[in-house]
Amino acid sequence: MRDNEKNDHVQGAPNHGQRPEHGHTDDSLDSKRMEEFSAELTSSDLPDIEEEKSFNPGTLYGWGSIILAVISFFIWPIVLGAASIVFGFVARSRGTNILGLIGIIAGALSIISAFFVIPFFS
């Protein structure tokens, strides 16, 4: 008798995707509840942080080179012009060719003007 009581309290296996065993529910509601809308998340679905990051460290060196070159036209042309040229080469090695080239040319013009142009006007 005890075995019969145990079998009465055991829950049946789940009914995945099949028609429900109990007839008291509406068919349209049951068909909506039996659908599964979840999807597994894999590593390829996650956004890659490196891809989203569009900042290139060479850009910082390129803009720094240009800023140093502009400042070098007003104060310390030899020191800041040389620093601008160095920063320009670093920027070019990191992939920002245009900014690096502008910084190199502007720094060189600053040094050339310090040696050859400014002494004639002083």
More confident: 24 or 97: 97
Tens of pLDDT, residue by residue over 31-53, are: 555 566 666 767 666 666 555 45
Question: Global pTM?
Answer: 0.53
By CB atoms closer than 10 A (0-12, 13-18, 19+), residue 91 is: buried
What's the rounded Cα separation, in Å, for the pair 57 and 29? Answer: 57
Tens of pLDDT, residue by residue over 74-116, are: 999 899 999 999 999 999 988 888 999 999 999 999 999 888 8
Tens of pLDDT, residue by residue over 57-70, are: 778 889 999 999 99
Of the candidates 42, 94, 122, the residue with the CA atom closest to the CA atom of residue 113: 122
